[in-house]
């Protein structure tokens, strides 16, 4: 759990972060979204004290971060950044094992952990362990960057635009991977992004920042349905709102009994996917399956009703 209390950073005449308070619950992802210059990165960097706050406090699992030696604090918190920041002169294994080595793990423990993480990220340990970062593709470098942040099993992770340098297809895959791994490990993550789509997709809660202030801090559905200010609404994009809302609701929520023809859709898929499929194949209803067996149908009318209720 990260508790941020009235955290403020002032540079000369400008207030980069203005009395922001929020709590990131254990085992959730908080996505901080805002334009550049909104103070979101400064907020993140104050948590592991890469930037020293002007005032306010941060508590990590109840302990005040300000009272720990900065380098010891940072070793407890996973940190992943845009463009990965891998050590170009170290092999993949040494990059991933960097923090465990700082923490004094035994060589065999580090080795086992490196192999475990490479496997988790779909990279064959035997063939990737000894490669150097420049011998990897952009997507692989980014995965090694995230693996490095996870290496010491930190219960806390800070991520600054971790997927910013990736092309859209690899980014979507990396986001899914992160979500899955976070669920599996139960890590607490605070992630900074300029992309509302990414924030809605990944965040259990979304924090919208502008000009150093926290405008709204709520679950994505609430942000989309009820933006606190015009700026938040702008970030979501007016024309995109119904689609963003539908992308947050799983098909299982409005599944009903009844017949439907054609290709089925999984009950875990979003209403946005269902809408897209029914428009594309010109059907009023789609069969819905759970674990391969048909459990009912979802109708265009139900989707429309659900989207309308949000406004």
Partner 1 sequence: MRKGLILRGLLVALLVALVLRPELFTPLFAPFAPNGGPVIYQRTSLLSLSLSHLGLVAVASGLATVVAVSLAILVTRPAGAAFRPLSRTITNIGQTFPPVAVLALTVPVFGFGSGPTLVALFLYGLLPVFENAMTGFGTLPPRTMEAARGMGLTRWQQLWQVELPLAAPVILTGIRLSVVISLGTATIGSTVAAATLGEVIIAGLLTDNTAYVLQGGLIVGIFAVLLYDALVLVERALARRMGRVQQAA
Q: Which residues bind partner 1 (CB under 8 A)?
A: 48, 50, 71-76, 79, 81-89, 98-99, 102, 132-135, 145, 148-149, 158
98 or 200: whose CB is closer to partner 1? 98
Q: Under DSSP, is residue 163 helix (H, G, I), strand (E, B) or coil?
A: coil
CB of 115 vs partner 1, minimal distance in Å: 20
79 or 121: whose CB is closer to partner 1? 79
Q: Under DSSP, is residue 302 helix (H, G, I), strand (E, B) or coil?
A: helix
Question: Measured between alpha carbons, how far is 206 from 223 in angstroms, rounded to an integer?
Answer: 8
What does the chain come to in residues?
311
CB of 74 vs partner 1, minimal distance in Å: 4
What is the distance between the terminal CA atoms of the chain, rounded to a whole angstrom?
Answer: 33
CB of 260 vs partner 1, minimal distance in Å: 50
Residues in Cβ contact with 65 at an 8 Å cutoff, skipping those fewer than 6 apart: 47, 48, 49, 57, 58, 59, 73
Q: How many angstroms separate the Cα of 18 from the Cα of each of 9, 14, 51, 210?
A: 7, 10, 14, 10
CB of 238 vs partner 1, minimal distance in Å: 36
122 or 135: whose CB is closer to partner 1? 135
50 or 225: whose CB is closer to partner 1? 50
CB of 159 vs partner 1, minimal distance in Å: 11
CB of 166 vs partner 1, minimal distance in Å: 14
Question: Measured between alpha carbons, how far is 177 from 161 in angstroms, rounded to an integer?
Answer: 15
73 or 208: whose CB is closer to partner 1? 73
Question: Measured between alpha carbons, how far is 99 from 149 in angstroms, rounded to an integer?
Answer: 8
CB 300 within 8 A of CB 284: yes
CB 24 within 8 A of CB 31: no
86 or 288: whose CB is closer to partner 1? 86
């Amino acid at each position: 759990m990260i508790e941020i209390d009235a955290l403020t950073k002032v540079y000369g005449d400008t207030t980069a972060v203005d009395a922001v308070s929020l709590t990131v619950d254990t085992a959730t992802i908080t996505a901080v979204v805002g334009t550049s210059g909104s103070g979101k990165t400064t907020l993140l960097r104050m948590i592991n004290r890469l930037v020293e706050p002007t005032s306010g406090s941060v508590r990590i699992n109840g302990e005040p971060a300000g009272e720990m030696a900065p380098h010891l604090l940072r070793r407890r918190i996973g940190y992943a950044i845009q463009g990965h920041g891998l050590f170009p002169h170290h092999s993949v294994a040494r990059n991933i094992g960097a923090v465990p080595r700082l923490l004094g793990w035994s060589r065999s423990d580090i080795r086992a952990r490196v192999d475990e993480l490479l496997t988790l990220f779909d990279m064959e340990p035997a063939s990737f362990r000894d490669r150097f970062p420049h011998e990897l593709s952009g997507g692989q470098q980014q995965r090694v960057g995230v693996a490095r942040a996870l290496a010491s099993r930190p219960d806390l992770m800070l991520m600054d635009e971790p997927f910013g340098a990736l092309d859209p297809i690899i980014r979507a895959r990396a986001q899914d991977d992160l979500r899955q791994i976070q669920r599996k490990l139960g890590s607490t993550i605070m992630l900074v992004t300029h992309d509302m789509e990414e924030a809605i997709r990944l965040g259990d809660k979304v924090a919208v920042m502008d000009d150093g202030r926290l405008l709204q801090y709520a679950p994505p559905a609430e942000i989309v349905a009820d933006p606190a200010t015009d700026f938040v609404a702008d970030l979501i994009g007016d024309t995109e709102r119904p689609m963003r809302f539908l992308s947050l609701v799983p098909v299982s929520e409005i599944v009903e009994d009844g017949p439907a023809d054609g290709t089925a859709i999984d009950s875990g898929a979003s209403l946005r996917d269902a809408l897209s499929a029914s428009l594309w194949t010109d059907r009023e209803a789609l069969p819905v399956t759970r674990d391969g067996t048909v459990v009912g149908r979802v109708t265009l009318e139900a989707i429309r009703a659900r989207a309308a209720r949000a406004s």
